[in-house]
Amino acid sequence: MTTHGPSSILIISLLALTAGQSLAVDIPVAKDLSAVIALQGLPCGRVVSVKQQASNDYLAACDGGHRYRVFINADGRVIAEIQAVTAQGK
């Protein structure tokens, strides 16, 4: 039987805490971006990863392989532009 010292327990606890915090931040943004893309009639499914480029400017990757840039243009409109379709989406 393997025993783990207090340092192992501390590391596992910190990893779990950090993972929970990052998920709590990303999930609402991913859901909002999924909704924006769907409302514009573009194929996506759900957003599985998000990269923020600037304030109100995101790169969103969908589970179907599509990638979009979602941003607010100079007129204040939310725009979703297709960036790429990976082999998964073909």
pTM of the predicted model, to two decimals? 0.66
- Residue 31 in domain: yes
Q: Number of structural domains, the chain?
A: 1
The answer to whether position 1 is within a domain reads no
Read off the pLDDT band of 66 (50, 70, 90): very high
Phi-psi region of 49 (alpha: psi -120 to 50; beta: other; left: phi over 0): beta
Range of the domain at 83: 6-89
- Please indicate, yes or no, if residue 62 is contained in any of the structural domains: yes
- Is residue 24's pLDDT more than 70? no
Residues in the chain: 90
Q: Is the pLDDT of residue 50 over 50?
A: yes
